[in-house]
Amino acid sequence: MVKEMKVCITSMSDNLEASIDPHFGRCRYFVIADPDSMEFESFENAGSSGPGGAGVQAAQQMINRGVTALITGSVGPNAFSLLSAEGVEVLMAAEGSVAEAVSAYRTGSLKKLEAPNSPGKK
């Protein structure tokens, strides 16, 4: 059985035409899309304005929702350790629309993030 693909894109708004929000932990919205059917759901990032640990909270959401790949601009060390421990692939895209990011994902042209690329909060 093939595992269902769930790609999450950090976004400025709740739809596929929205721009990517480049900061994982403190992005405004998460858009979770099926890259084949382009069906999607979106929800606000409740932790975007919290005092600390936003990356941990965001990563926990990805894990709880069974996201298989994350497309974003920057990920801090705490979130990165959680995502990599859970085997969530992290791919880089800091600009353009959510739909463009999903297309780029399908063609395999997104660069994989191998290490945290934001200082985050310790």
Cβ 119 to other proteins shortest distance, Å: 12
- Pick 7 or 82: Cβ nearer other proteins: 82
What string of DSSP letters covers 37-91? T--EEEEE-TTTT-SS-HHHHHHHHHHHTT-SEEEESB--HHHHHHHHHHT-EEE
Are the CB atoms for 69 and 62 separated by under 8 Å? no
Q: Considering beta carbons, is residue 35 or 53 the nearer one to other proteins?
A: 53
- Closest distance of CB 121 from other proteins, Å: 7
Closer Cβ to other proteins, 83 or 98, answer by number: 83
β 89-92/69-72 pair status: parallel
Q: Which residues bind other proteins (CB under 8 A)?
A: 47, 50-54, 56-57, 59-60, 63-64, 78, 81-82, 85-86, 121-122
